[in-house]
Amino acid sequence: MTYDKAQNRTRSLKLWRYFWVAIYALMLLAPLAIILIGAGTGARRIEREFLRELSVMLGFVGLALMGVQFVPTARLPFLSEVFDMDRLYALHHGFSIAAFGLTLAHPLFLFINNPYTLQLLNLATAPWRARAGVVSILLLIALTIMSVWRKSLEIRYEFWHWMHTFFSVAIVGLALYHIFEVDYYTSVPAQRVLWWVLAGVWSVMLLYTRLIRPWWMLKHPYEVTEVLRDRGDTWTLVVEPVGHAGLTFKAGQFAWLVIWKSPFAISYHPFSFASSAEDPGRLRFMIKELGDWTGKVKEIPAGKRVYVDGPYGTFTPDHHPAPGYVFIAGGSGAAPVMSILETLADCQERRPLWFFYGNWSWDTVVYRDRLEDLAERLNLDVIHVLESPPDGWQGETGFITDRVLARRLPDTRQDYDYFICGPLPMIDNVEAALHTLGIPSGQIHSEKYEMA
């Protein structure tokens, strides 16, 4: 893609981003707008206390916010082209906490306004509409605790993912039953139709996530052709399509893999492509042993069926045109960078490129030999930064800091775009270093993979 075409594509993506943000806001605020404009007017209109009305409004917005969370987690291809997955999942996490607060405020304001309503907490005597609301909130509290403190509670990711899906559906379903059975604002046709439409959208998202997309993946399998060992307890999984042409991806994007299970399994695992986008018929993924299921990667036999859901992500030069690029990675965070460099080399790219690669030692540098080959094919300067260098090491040591970057980059460094991938502490430190060097935030792109 030429520089001018890439710039036009970027402008188009921004317009689409504004459009989808507006749709998202509409879904969140429409219930509240109907209340303020005219819900509850006419024969059903009665004067109600301010705190009671506020309680209902907060509950409606909280429910809308919870339901809309089915959209970013559905991994819709057209949204992943506009929003990077890190940002979508960060918004999902933040909005989920906001939904928790708003939903919890609903009964609290109700109790403050009329303490007599505390009796609705008694599930043995409360009407079914109240029981549904109480159980929904109890499940929401449990889900929030499991999500925020999952690692501290040592809850396995797969089990948490299954419970997260089950609880989410139950919470929203019970909450919808609650508001329809209360039948005050939902007695107004506009409000009732709106909630049915929203519930329909959320159901379609769930259906797409759990049935439609897995069925498509089942019909488009891949087969393991090689499992190659590299340095630093890292393996390269090579897969090829079976009975289809494979998928087309952009350099730097990633996919979700299902290796040992059916594509209808509740949990997938994200990995960046480590291969050239010019060779979509042969996909490579860098997988580092981390003590979990990744320790079994080396046991995957040739011929094993796997399933690939992708591509996703905006961590690609195709979305960020610039006169040159600086890549910064740590450890297995080099995977998307390798995909980008391989693709640029196949496209005979001549723009200036820098790759700052941080590792513990020289023996743990993954794709070391391949990087030397790429440096000969590209206008590429590879800068290795080692925490524990060998004797006689003449390169950079320690961490990738503003001083290291300033020493190795030209004075025109503010003209380039920067791509960072690796451990979260490294990303945070490098972003701070780039800001110290005066690099605008819009030219800094990070891949964090904090999706659970």
Does 1.10.3470.10 match the CATH number of domain 222-312? Answer: no
pLDDT given for residue 5 in this prediction: 54
pLDDT score of 353: 97
Domain 222-312 and domain 317-447, same fold? Reply is: no
Per domain, the residue ranges of the chain are: 3-217, 222-312, 317-447
3-state SS string for 177-197: HHHHHHCCHHHCHHHHHHHHH
Instruction: Give the whole-angstrom CA distance, residue 341 versus residue 374.
Output: 7
The position carrying tokens 């549904």 is 132
Query: What confidence score (pLDDT) does residue 291 get?
Result: 65
Picking from 79, 304, 26, 21, the residue whose alpha carbon sits closest to that of residue 208 is 79
Task: Supply the DSSP symbol for 120.
Answer: G
Q: What is the pLDDT of residue 452?
A: 47
Neighbours of 186 (CB within 10 A): 21
Q: How far apart are CA 388 and CA 398, in angstroms?
A: 7
Token pair 């796997």 in the structure block, residue: 306
- pLDDT for position 40: 47
pLDDT of the residue at 48:
59
- What is residue 128's predicted lDDT score, i.e. its pLDDT? 94
Q: Are 326 and 416 in contact (CB under 8 A)?
A: yes
How far is 19 from 16, CA to CA, in rounded Å?
5
The tokens for 62 are 């909280």
What's the pLDDT at 254?
Answer: 92
Task: Pull the structure tokens for residue 108.
Answer: 């609290």
Question: C-alpha angle 446/418/86, rounded to 5°?
Answer: 15
Say if strands 353-359 and 325-330 run parallel, antiparallel, or are unpaired: parallel
Domain 317-447 has CATH 3.40.50.80: yes
Q: pTM of the predicted model, to two decimals?
A: 0.81
Phi, psi of 318 (to 5 degrees): -60, -30
Q: What top-level class would CATH report for the domain 3-217?
A: mainly alpha
Q: Which helix (H) or strand (E) holds 92?
A: helix 85-113
Neighbours of 297 (CB within 10 A): 19
CB atoms within 10 A of CB 415: 13
Q: Are strands 222-230 and 234-241 parallel, antiparallel or unpaired?
A: antiparallel
**pLDDT tens sequence for the chain (452 residues):** 455 555 566 677 778 778 888 888 888 888 888 877 764 444 444 445 778 888 888 999 999 989 888 887 778 777 777 777 777 777 788 888 899 999 999 999 989 988 888 999 999 999 999 999 999 999 999 999 998 888 888 888 778 888 888 999 999 999 999 999 988 788 888 888 999 999 999 999 999 988 999 999 999 999 999 999 988 889 999 999 999 988 999 999 999 999 888 898 877 888 999 999 999 889 999 988 876 677 788 888 999 999 999 898 888 898 888 999 999 999 889 999 999 999 999 999 999 999 999 999 999 999 999 999 999 999 999 999 999 999 999 999 999 999 999 999 999 999 999 999 988 899 999 999 999 999 998 899 988 755 44
Burial 68-99 (b: 16+ CB within 10 A, else e): bbbbbbbbbeebbbbbbbbebbeebbebbeeb
